Amino acid sequence: MIECQTKGARSLSYLHFFLRVVAGAAVVKSSRSMASRLGPRLIYLSSVIFLLSIFTPISESNQFCDAGISYGDSACGISSSSSSKILIKGGTVVNAHQQEIADVYIEDGIIVAVKPSIKVSDDVTVLDATGKFVMPGGIDPHTHLGMEFMGTQSVDDFFSGQAAALAGGTTMHIDFVIPVNGSLSAGLEAYKDKAKKSCMDYGFHMAITKWDEIVSREMEIMVKEQGINSFKFFMAYKGALMINDELLLEGLKKCKSLGALAMVHAENGDAVFEGQKKMIELGITGPEGHALSRPPVLEGEATARAIRLAGFVNTPLYVVHVMSTDAMEEIARARKSGQRVIGEPVVSGLVLDDSGIWDPDFTTAAKYVMSPPIRASGHDKALQAALSTGILQLVGTDHCVFNSTQKAFGIDDFRKIPNGVNGIEERMHLVWDTMVESGQISVTDYVRLTSTECARIFNIYPRKGAILAGSDADIIIFNPSSSFEITTRSHHSRSDTNVFEGKRGKGKVEVTIAGGRVLWNNGELNVVPGSGKFIKMPPYSYLFGGIDKADAKYLSSLQAPVKRSKAAT
């Protein structure tokens, strides 16, 4: 059991309790002596004290309750510490490069020391982590909170989605800004507004949905002034977000010139459109039509095309939500040839197969509709193997949740089912159980795949993704001997369904510390809207190192004179 309240926090609670008792007594006494000389003034004074004592927060969880939201039974009582000094004692501290038994001392949101036997004063909150892993909080590279998509909006916003993330051990996420009518700056303003209610740190990628001089200039502003270092190109969603090869080429060149990472949703959108028409003509209108209309070959084709175009421009490429063996093998081939390609599987693709989408119950089947689709059994295992051998580099979620009422927009036509599934709360547990418990990866690999590699790729390491002196205090305490179970009843998402319903496994995130505060502690969530920070991500991550040398070599090879003999007349 984890010790949680500091002496300071306890005495604050006692003081609060005392204040309430005194003020309450004063109200009673003054009402009894109403006829006395001081009556009206005393009534006024004591009533003010009494009201103040009622509305003075005991802990931040009161603000959480004021927001009209509660998670768990005791979220509105005295819960986690708000101390700015925390000592995590006796755990196994795991970084991507090593693990060691050590204490971790935190002050004002920053890790101050990581070493054995740290001594602290009485005002420090002490968390005993003996027998447990102390790891960097998860970083989810791929989310869509409050996303306007397919005529509706994903139900988890920057508060509920982040609260769910924290309950599952994730302390930062990177969301995709969607431009407004192609305008990046209008899109960014809209997302800054959505993110005002954040209760944990976040960053932004930016989607590119049209091309002109203004967009090109706005990309520069995003990178140089707004802390965005990655741009996503949707090769699918014809008639909505989809771009063509010409735009992709322009975008790749611009990304390279800015040191920004190009990302692709790789599916052949024209062929998907054809596939959808074919299914409807055949009378296949249910959710299974979604999977049948966009088979793995279309994901493989688009992945190969994006890789070749990025190779042609010589700029790094990040392939989001790799769902099939077809796409994964294209990435493997490119990496083997020396090309800088990052592959991101998502937790739904790693642990689920397509059986759900064939369920006879529409609500059940529709909840699995996402793009690219969750594939037939076999792809999941291949993606796990690719992750464990370094072909794929990090795990995201693509958390983009629509409830069963929204999914029912497509009851007669699978093309109208909003695409997206959950995962932000479940990723850390499912990756542990699937990959570490099965012996496919080590604990240090787990940290790399769920946190460190994301921080490196998006150029915020070691501020994020590490337990080192000077890093942000985003930390989880993970009990490998405990267990988890996923249910819609107990999850923190606003959705009324969960694609991982009923999954159980070993390991449990017992404590989540974000920004140096204990926000999740043994089933109690203690979050404050507006407390999360936007994390600026600078350009030119490690993926760009040496690109200029390769370019220079290529250019000089072009300048070698070609000797031709004069043609006979």
Two structure tokens written together for 429: 């547990």
Residue 350, contacted partner among ligand URP, Zn ion, none, CB below 5-8 A by kind:
none
At 90, which helix (H) or strand (E)?
strand 85-94
Residue 203, contacted partner among ligand URP, Zn ion, none, CB below 5-8 A by kind:
none
Residue for token pair 């946190």: 451
d(CA 129, CA 133): 7
- Out of 160, 226, 371, 434, the only residue in the binding site for ligand URP (CB under 6 A) is 371
Site string for ligand URP, 327-356 (x = CB under 6 A): ------------------------------
Q: Is 144 in the site for ligand URP (CB under 6 A)?
A: yes
At 1, which helix (H) or strand (E)?
none
d(CA 346, CA 320): 8
In 10 A of CB 10, how many CB atoms?
12
The three-class DSSP label of residue 420 is coil
Query: Which residues from 381-410 bind ligand URP, rule CB under 6 A?
Result: 398, 400
How many binding residues for ligand URP (CB under 6 A)?
9
Contact stretch for Zn ion (CB under 5 A) within 128-136, 262-270, 403-411, 529-537: 262-270
Question: Could you say which DSSP state residue 399 is in?
Answer: B
In 10 A of CB 193, how many CB atoms?
11
Residue 419, contacted partner among ligand URP, Zn ion, none, CB below 5-8 A by kind:
ligand URP
Q: Is 173 in the site for ligand URP (CB under 6 A)?
A: no
Q: Is 265 in the site for Zn ion (CB under 5 A)?
A: yes
In 10 A of CB 97, how many CB atoms?
11
CB of 420 to ligand URP, least distance (A): 4
Residue 448, contacted partner among ligand URP, Zn ion, none, CB below 5-8 A by kind:
none
d(CA 483, CA 489): 17
CB of 153 to ligand URP, least distance (A): 12
The three-class DSSP label of residue 479 is strand
CB of 150 to ligand URP, least distance (A): 9
d(CA 544, CA 175): 22
Q: Is 132 in the site for Zn ion (CB under 5 A)?
A: no
Whichever of 370 and 391 has its CB closer to ligand URP, that residue is 370
Whichever of 326 and 445 has its CB closer to Zn ion, that residue is 326
CA dihedral 357, 362, 367, 368 (to 10 degrees): 10
Closest residue to ligand URP, judged by C-beta, is 419
Residue 370, contacted partner among ligand URP, Zn ion, none, CB below 5-8 A by kind:
ligand URP
Cβ contacts of residue 193 below 8 Å, gap of 6+?
none
Q: Is 495 in the site for ligand URP (CB under 6 A)?
A: no
Q: Is 173 in the site for Zn ion (CB under 5 A)?
A: no
Whichever of 42 and 322 has its CB closer to ligand URP, that residue is 322
Two structure tokens written together for 199: 């209760």
Query: Which residues from 431-450 bind Zn ion, rule CB under 5 A?
Result: none
Whichever of 174 and 366 has its CB closer to Zn ion, that residue is 174
Q: Is 375 in the site for ligand URP (CB under 6 A)?
A: no
Two structure tokens written together for 176: 């995709």
On whether the CB atoms of residues 397 and 347 are closer than 8 A, the answer is yes
Distances (CA, A) of 236 to 93, 271, 272, 273: 42, 9, 8, 9
On whether the CB atoms of residues 262 and 310 are closer than 8 A, the answer is yes
On whether the CB atoms of residues 112 and 378 are closer than 8 A, the answer is no
Q: Is 398 in the site for Zn ion (CB under 5 A)?
A: yes
- 462 upstream amide cis, omega within 30 of 0: yes
Q: Is 491 in the site for Zn ion (CB under 5 A)?
A: no
Contact stretch for Zn ion (CB under 5 A) within 101-109, 331-339, 342-350, 397-405: 397-405
Whichever of 172 and 263 has its CB closer to ligand URP, that residue is 263
Q: What residues are paired with 233 via a beta bridge?
A: 264
How many binding residues for Zn ion (CB under 5 A)?
2
- Out of 91, 169, 349, 420, the only residue in the binding site for ligand URP (CB under 6 A) is 420
Q: Is 235 in the site for ligand URP (CB under 6 A)?
A: no
Closest residue to Zn ion, judged by C-beta, is 265
Residue for token pair 């989310």: 143
3-state helix, strand, coil in the chain (%, to 5): 40, 20, 40
At 234, which helix (H) or strand (E)?
strand 230-234
- Out of 132, 194, 197, 265, the only residue in the binding site for ligand URP (CB under 6 A) is 265
* Cα–chain center distance at 521: 20
- Intra-chain end-to-end CA distance of the chain, in Å: 94
- Out of 310, 370, 383, 449, the only residue in the binding site for ligand URP (CB under 6 A) is 370
Two structure tokens written together for 284: 């296949």
Q: Is 290 in the site for Zn ion (CB under 5 A)?
A: no
CB of 147 to ligand URP, least distance (A): 7
Range 289-304 burial, b when 16+ CB lie within 10 A, else e: bbbbbbbbebbbbbbb
CB of 563 to ligand URP, least distance (A): 52
Whichever of 398 and 433 has its CB closer to Zn ion, that residue is 398
Q: Is 344 in the site for Zn ion (CB under 5 A)?
A: no
CB of 238 to ligand URP, least distance (A): 13
- Applying CB under 5 A, the residues found at the interface with Zn ion are 265, 398
- Applying CB under 6 A, the residues found at the interface with ligand URP are 144, 265, 321, 370-371, 398, 400, 419-420
